[in-house]
Amino acid sequence: MNQEAKHWLARAKSNLEFAKDVKRTNFTFNGGYIFIEEVCYELQQSVEKALKALFIFYQIKIPYTHNIAELITRLGENGINIPDNIKMAKKLTDYAVETRYPHIEEPLTEEDFNDALEIAENVYNWAENLLGI
C-alpha cells in the first residue's frame, strides 16, 4: 500500500483515539478544561484525513477543502461506492471551523459528540478496509 496513504490513515487514527480517550476518562465537558467542540473537531479531522487517505490510495487529486460532503462526493464521482453510513459524515463539516471558536449559537451536546464519534469510527473502519490494512 502507498506509504503516504498509510500515514494519512495513521493520523486519522490518532485524532479518533484522542476523542475516544476523552470519552474513556468520563471527562465532564465544558465543566473542565476540555470543550466538547474541541473534541468534535478532532473527530472531524479524523474523518477528513481518512477520506484524504483514500484520495491518495486511489491516486485522485486531493481537493483543498475541509468540506466532508465535497470529499465524499468527489470520491463517489471517481467510482468509489459510498455507503449511506459514510455519507452521514458530511454533518461533521461544521466542526472544522464553525464550532471551534467562542460565541457559537448552539453549543454542542454530549449527544452530538457520541454521534460524531460513531460516524468517525465508521469512516475510519471503512477507509481502513478499502486500503486493505
Average confidence (pLDDT) per 10 residues, the chain, 133 residues: 91 95 71 79 97 97 94 97 97 83 75 95 98 86
Residue 80 contacts residue 51 (beta carbons within 8 Å): no
DSSP-based three-state secondary structure for 1? coil
Question: pTM for the full model?
Answer: 0.92
User: Cα angle vertex 19, ends 16, 76, to 5°?
Assistant: 35
Q: How many angstroms separate the CA atoms of 103 and 48, rounded?
A: 25
- pLDDT at residue 1, rounded to an integer: 58
The burial class, CB within 10 Å (0-12 / 13-18 / 19+), for 26 is exposed
Three-point CA angle 125, 126, 132, nearest 5°: 90
Q: What pLDDT does 104 receive?
A: 66
Report the sign of the C-alpha dihedral through residues 59, 65, 68, 72, in that order. negative
Q: Which domains does the chain have, with CATH numbers?
A: 3-131 (1.20.120.330)
Q: What is the pLDDT of residue 43?
A: 97
Give 45's contacts (C-beta < 8 A, 6+ positions apart). Answer: 12, 15, 96
- Measured between alpha carbons, how far is residue 113 from residues 21, 25, 58, 83 in Å? 13, 14, 30, 21
